[in-house]
Structure 1
């Protein structure tokens, strides 16, 4: 409605899609409805910004708009000082953290199942996020993992919490371009994440972390076992992730690209 109202007043419209509701692994009916809605809305839009190249290509594939109308600008986060980290001692539990709301989009269950079959039990998992975590808690009880998991609920001090972690996990069903991964990279953490949508545009396999197929608990278990065994590699990947964040995903990178696009639209339609 906002786009239609702006167009009726002759005001240019720039819309940022933070992930499409018709992306892979979203329920089929929901995908269909939202694709139709976004295609209609695109007629009233001067430019569409997608936060991942995956989403741009998806929109073009689904004929939401033409190539000229749509541009990729990755999310960015404020630059904070790098935390002081060192290689975690082998005898200490690997501190794994996942910051994500409990709900259909995220796949906490696959992470728990992977941990239950991993070769090593030298780990501790922290879940941070709102929503109903009862189903995840019940699964942890069933798998005998409850004493190795902390549920912190919704928190505002994420940067400070990340400083106490060794490995960031985002195991999920669908995404756009997750800001939580950028937060982890900023915190100098390696990332293990489900390879969906634009995740691979942030996480470089084998360099800043690991990508795992959707709902592949065995592959995820093997990655976690590697991280527990190879602490120096975990540390080195975290450093590489921080460098990649600084070079590509700061708020300034995002702001400069957005401003350039806004200026382009004003010159064309102003």
Structure 2
């Protein structure tokens, strides 16, 4: 199973449904969810084919769940995914590169060693660490 974030500003729900119909797949857009960690735990691979990201929280959520992530090599995502260590970075406009990376990670022997790396890559973005860092910034500014 692949967990992913395929929505981009250029795609509407209707466009994605039409594309899925054209290529013969069943598309199920789940909408706003509060059970993302559980959904990610059901997957083997995370995919983020974004053409633009500020940070890409969904990628961090996938890493935290131990999912190797195949993602675009764009600003934001490259700040937390290391190519070949916890996933693969791809040209966002080259679907063949994404397909090859997905095929690679279909191999459990290649995917399994990445899981620990994924969890470590997500650690700096932990909510408690982030809150502490923000508090430190505010206290420093006030002093």
TM-score relative to the length of structure 2 = 0.89
Unaligned runs of 5+ in 1: 1-94, 107-131
Report the counterpart of residue 134 of structure 1 in structure 2: 14
Report the counterpart of residue 144 of structure 1 in structure 2: 24
What are the Cα deviations for residues 27-50 of structure 1, in whole angstroms up to 9, with x where unaligned? xxxxxxxxxxxxxxxxxxxxxxxx
Report the counterpart of residue 243 of structure 1 in structure 2: 120
Given the alignment, which residue of 118, 130, 137 partners 1:254? 130
Report the counterpart of residue 204 of structure 1 in structure 2: 82
Given that 1:99 and 1:170 are in contact with CA atoms closer than 8 Å, whether structure 2 keeps it comes out as: yes
Report the counterpart of residue 9 of structure 2 in structure 1: 104
What are the Cα deviations for residues 127-151 of structure 1, in whole angstroms up to 9, with x where unaligned? xxxxx422111111212233xx443
Measure, in 2, the Cα distance between the counterparts of 1:164 and 1:201.
25
Q: 1:206 to 1:151 in 2, by over 3 A?
A: same
Measure, in 1, the Cα distance between the counterparts of 2:14 and 2:34.
21
Measure, in 1, the Cα distance between the counterparts of 2:34 and 2:126.
20
Measure, in 2, the Cα distance between the counterparts of 1:172 and 1:203.
14
What are the Cα deviations for residues 102-130 of structure 1, in whole angstroms up to 9, with x where unaligned? 45167xxxxxxxxxxxxxxxxxxxxxxxx
Measure, in 2, the Cα distance between the counterparts of 1:185 and 1:235.
13
Measure, in 2, the Cα distance between the counterparts of 1:103 and 1:223.
20
Measure, in 2, the Cα distance between the counterparts of 1:212 and 1:233.
18
TM-score relative to the length of structure 1 = 0.49
Q: How many equivalent pairs are there?
A: 143
Report the counterpart of residue 189 of structure 1 in structure 2: 67
* Cα RMSD for the two superposed structures: 1.8
1:233 and 2:110 are equivalent in the alignment: yes
Dislocated runs of 4+, deviation >4 Å: none
